[in-house]
Amino acid sequence: MSALIVIDVQNDFCPGGALAVPEGDAVVAPINAMMSEFDSVILTQDWHPAGHSSFASEHPGKAQMATVEMRYGTQVLWPDHCIQGTHGAAFHPGLNLDPADLILRKGYRRSIDSYSAFFENDHATPTGLDGYLRTRGIGTLTLVGLAYDFCVFYSALDAARLGYAVTVVGGATRGIDLDGSVGAAGNAMQAAGVMLR
């Protein structure tokens, strides 16, 4: 059984959004075209409460894209984005939601960010996705969406570590490229056994 995991194709990560990924909206058409090829389609949705600890606005004197040390490790400070119930948190209007078996929301705990679809940024608190996949007998995953070098990257690493066969489709994802993070993410995924195509 195979699943397409569509990571965070939301308005705030697309052009005009609060944390826009360059050409983020270019992933929508290829993702829609792929959906029929899989036994399951799962969408993730960044879903932050207002005042989330990963927002630069919660750290006086700190700039956006700076880093701070949290109890779970180093955290990039982001613009306020994907706040629960807002237009920015909604899926891109062109994304086909109908084939989705599951919509998994993440990042909703105020004190911890959640890049990965599998674990929060402490790498220990599960989102429940692993259990969902295993109970359905799904062992092969293809990851697409936003952003390549953060949420797609961490999801792919965790999926490989959990024993899934993982592919990331480059044409259906885009990256932020913070200080060379796109290249570093690609190298790390390949080293972890993730197939890049």
8 given a catalytic annotation: yes
- The tens digit of pLDDT for each residue in 19-77 reads 999 999 999 999 999 999 999 999 999 999 999 999 999 999 999 999 999 999 999 99
Catalytic residue among 8, 12, 46, 80: 8
**Is there a catalytic annotation at residue 62?**
no
Q: What is the pLDDT of residues 78-133, one digit of tens each?
A: 999 999 999 999 999 999 999 999 999 999 999 999 999 999 999 999 999 999 99
- Other C-beta atoms lying within 10 Å of the C-beta of residue 80: 20
Whether 164 contacts 77, CB under 8 Å: no
Burial class (CB in 10 A: 0-12, 13-18, 19+), 157: buried
Task: Taking residues 8-23, report their average pLDDT.
Answer: 97
- Burial annotation 45-56 (CB, 10 A radius, 16+ → b, else e): bbbbeeebbbbb
Catalytic: which of 12, 25, 80, 106? 106
12 has catalytic annotation? no
Model pLDDT for residues 139-157, shown as the tens digit of each residue = 999 999 999 999 999 999 9
